[in-house]
Amino acid sequence: MIIYNIGELVGIVPEGVLRKQGVEMSQTGVLHDAWLRIEEGKIVEYGEMRDLSTSLEMTGIDARGGMVMPTFCDSHTHVVYAGCRDGEFLDKIAGLSYEQIAARGGGILNSADLLHATPEDELFRQAMERVREMLAKGTGALEIKSGYGLNPADELKMLRVIRRIRDSVPAAVRATFLGAHAVGRGYTHEDYVQAMIDMLPQAAELSDFVDVFCDEGFFTVEDTARILSAAAPLGLRPKIHADELAASGGVQVGVAHGALSVDHLERAGAAEIDALRGSETMPTMLPGSSFFLGIPYAPARDFIAAGLGIALASDYNPGSSPSGDMRFVMALGCIRMRLTPVQAFNAVTLNAAYAMGLSAETGSITPGKRADLILTQPGWTLTKLPYLYQTPFIRQVFLAGIPFIP
Ligand code: NIG
Ligand code: FE
């Protein structure tokens, strides 16, 4: 199948480039008046219209000048949750902070109570509604965390639901065990950390990665190091929540344990940038939670100026970022973090794919990669995406070459 009359083919990256860092963040391959050929769900080749020798009478899609780009990759979400926390939304408007809501027994513990009371099938149904909406909005690969179970049985229930989502959608899904998201009810802090370590072998059967909410009032650097050390022999690479509420040491302990990503980073600075230099860890920023909680945005430009790459993800969850709209994430990256559209684009595609170990398979226009593509309405450009941030832009999403019908 050929898509032809593409106005802008955006996100062309040579084979073997798995992430972008520093000045590379400002570069991506663009071809104007282009075509792209898909075979067996994969991108096979592309070129300029004037060089297209093949007859267009074959099965083809006329892009009518629309843009074609890779689908968004969302490397940090908590979309498996029960119900919602709209009551806390009112508390927040009344002036309570995220920490104050959590201290009153709301927050993550509130979601854990709801999840406990929700049958597994219903949990799956609710999560699938969110995932389908995300795919319709152009996300083609996503990571989903546990962390609203907060006891071994309910954590495994969440991981089974994530597995079922993975088996049910045409997008790539990766699972992260985030048992250490908050101390579950009825446990002491110490007992809870031990319970999470003890269940790692079972969790590992259903997970790709391990995460710890390493932050003030949640889990310490020592807790994090213990959990990561126990997870490593089971093949679980870390993706760490760090520096959201305070400079937590989460970046440093994550890098020391070979984390694939360290995420949030709203309070990160020079020490964290130093720790990340030369590492394989992708700093991942979640501007949707800065927007929703009214906290600082992570210093993305400082990271890039220091030669690092960054990814942007939605953090879709009921407490700090109730949205999985990656175009909005891109817009916040440009408007509030002052990234250029190309930098934000690399952060929501190739680098986010890297942050879930998927950048050899998706996240760019590269022969051999999955044909996970967004075809836009005519007239769209990369710059217009974050600028006209609410105008509908998608004509068709393709996942592994197949049109996605929500
Ligand atoms: O990434 N920071 C920790 N976890 C989530 C929030 C979870 C919640 O409030 O339900 C986050 O922001
Ligand atoms: Fe999160």
Contact predicate 375/10, CB 8 Å: no
CA-proximal residue: ligand 1, atom 3 (nearest): 213
DSSP 362: S
Contact predicate 373/139, CB 8 Å: no
219-248 pLDDT per residue, tens: 999 999 999 999 999 999 999 999 999 999
| Residue range 30-49: mean pLDDT, rounded | 97
DSSP 299: -
Q: Rounded to an integer, what distance in angstroms lies between the CA atom of residue 55 and that of residue 166?
A: 38
Order of strands, sheet of 282-285, starting from the edge strand that comes earlier in the sequence: 72-74, 139-145, 172-180, 209-214, 237-242, 261-264, 282-285, 311-312
Q: Is 287 in the pocket of ligand 1 (CB under 6 A)?
A: no
Identify the pLDDT of residue 7: 98
Identify the pLDDT of residue 217: 93
Q: Look at 106-110, 187-191, 205-209 and tell me which has the smallest mean pLDDT.
A: 106-110
Q: Say if residue 256 is exposed, middle or buried (CB neighbours under 10 Å; 0-12, 13-18, 19+).
A: middle
If you measure from the C-alpha of residue 317 to the centroid of ligand 1, how many angstroms do you get, rounded to a whole number?
Answer: 7
Q: Is 111 in the pocket of ligand 1 (CB under 6 A)?
A: yes
Show the tokens assigned to 350: 């190739």
In sequence order, what are the residues at sequence separation of 6 or more whose Cβ sits closer than 8 angstroms to the Cβ of residue 334? 340, 341, 344, 386, 387
Identify the pLDDT of residue 54: 64
Q: Is 106 in the pocket of ligand 1 (CB under 6 A)?
A: no
Predicted confidence (pLDDT) at residue 261 exceeds the cutoff of 60: yes
Bridge partners (DSSP) listed for residue 48: 34
Q: Is 76 in the pocket of ligand 1 (CB under 6 A)?
A: no
- Nearest to 332, CA basis, from 383, 275, 396, 389: 389
If you measure from the C-alpha of residue 85 to the centroid of ligand 1, how many angstroms do you get, rounded to a whole number?
Answer: 12
If you measure from the C-alpha of residue 319 to the centroid of ligand 1, how many angstroms do you get, rounded to a whole number?
Answer: 6
| Residue range 97-117: mean pLDDT, rounded | 92
Show the tokens assigned to 292: 């929703």
DSSP code string of 120-133 = HHHHHHHHHHHHHH
User: Cα 248 from chain centroid?
Assistant: 21
**Which pTM value belongs to this model?**
0.97
Show the tokens assigned to 347: 């952060």
Closest ligand 1 atom to Cα of 315 = 1
Q: Is 314 in the pocket of ligand 1 (CB under 6 A)?
A: no
CA-proximal residue: ligand 1, atom 8 (nearest): 319
Confidence tier at 312 by pLDDT (50, 70, 90): very high
Q: Rounded to an integer, what distance in angstroms lies between the CA atom of residue 29 and that of residue 46?
A: 12
3-state secondary structure of 221: helix
CA-proximal residue: ligand 1, atom 9 (nearest): 319
Identify the pLDDT of residue 184: 97
In sequence order, what are the residues at sequence separation of 6 or more whose Cβ sits closer than 8 angstroms to the Cβ of residue 191? none
Confidence tier at 56 by pLDDT (50, 70, 90): low
DSSP code string of 229-280 = HHHGGGT-EEEEEESSSS--SHHHHHHHTT-SEEEE-TT--HHHHHHHTT-S
Q: How many residues does the chain have?
A: 406
If you measure from the C-alpha of residue 241 to the centroid of ligand 2, how many angstroms do you get, rounded to a whole number?
Answer: 6
Identify the pLDDT of residue 103: 87
In sequence order, what are the residues at sequence separation of 6 or more whose Cβ sits closer than 8 angstroms to the Cβ of residue 344? 312, 330, 333, 334, 386
Q: Is 108 in the pocket of ligand 1 (CB under 6 A)?
A: yes
Q: Rounded to an integer, what distance in angstroms lies between the CA atom of residue 356 and that of residue 358?
A: 6
Tell me the best of 143, 146, 213, 293 to mutate to test the pocket of ligand 1, counting ligand atoms within 8 Å of each CB and taking the most: 213
If you measure from the C-alpha of residue 267 to the centroid of ligand 2, how many angstroms do you get, rounded to a whole number?
Answer: 15
If you measure from the C-alpha of residue 315 to the centroid of ligand 2, how many angstroms do you get, rounded to a whole number?
Answer: 5
If you measure from the C-alpha of residue 388 to the centroid of ligand 2, how many angstroms do you get, rounded to a whole number?
Answer: 27
If you measure from the C-alpha of residue 361 to the centroid of ligand 1, how many angstroms do you get, rounded to a whole number?
Answer: 28
Ligand nearest to the CA of 99: 1
Q: Look at 82-96, 118-132, 333-347 and tell me which has the smallest mean pLDDT.
A: 82-96
Q: Is 318 in the pocket of ligand 1 (CB under 6 A)?
A: yes
- Nearest to 143, CA basis, from 105, 100, 177, 96: 177
Show the tokens assigned to 15: 């084979």
269-293 pLDDT per residue, tens: 999 999 999 999 999 999 999 999 9
- Nearest to 5, CA basis, from 38, 47, 49: 49
Closest ligand 1 atom to Cα of 81 = 10
Show the tokens assigned to 285: 């920023």
120-166 pLDDT per residue, tens: 999 999 999 999 999 999 999 999 999 999 999 999 999 999 999 99
Identify the pLDDT of residue 52: 84
If you measure from the C-alpha of residue 345 to the centroid of ligand 1, how many angstroms do you get, rounded to a whole number?
Answer: 24
Identify the pLDDT of residue 346: 98
Q: Say if residue 186 is exposed, middle or buried (CB neighbours under 10 Å; 0-12, 13-18, 19+).
A: exposed
Q: Is 290 in the pocket of ligand 1 (CB under 6 A)?
A: no
Q: Is 320 in the pocket of ligand 1 (CB under 6 A)?
A: yes
Amino acid at the residue 125: R
Predicted confidence (pLDDT) at residue 58 exceeds the cutoff of 80: no
CA-proximal residue: ligand 1, atom 7 (nearest): 319
Strand 261-264 relative to strand 237-242, pairing: parallel
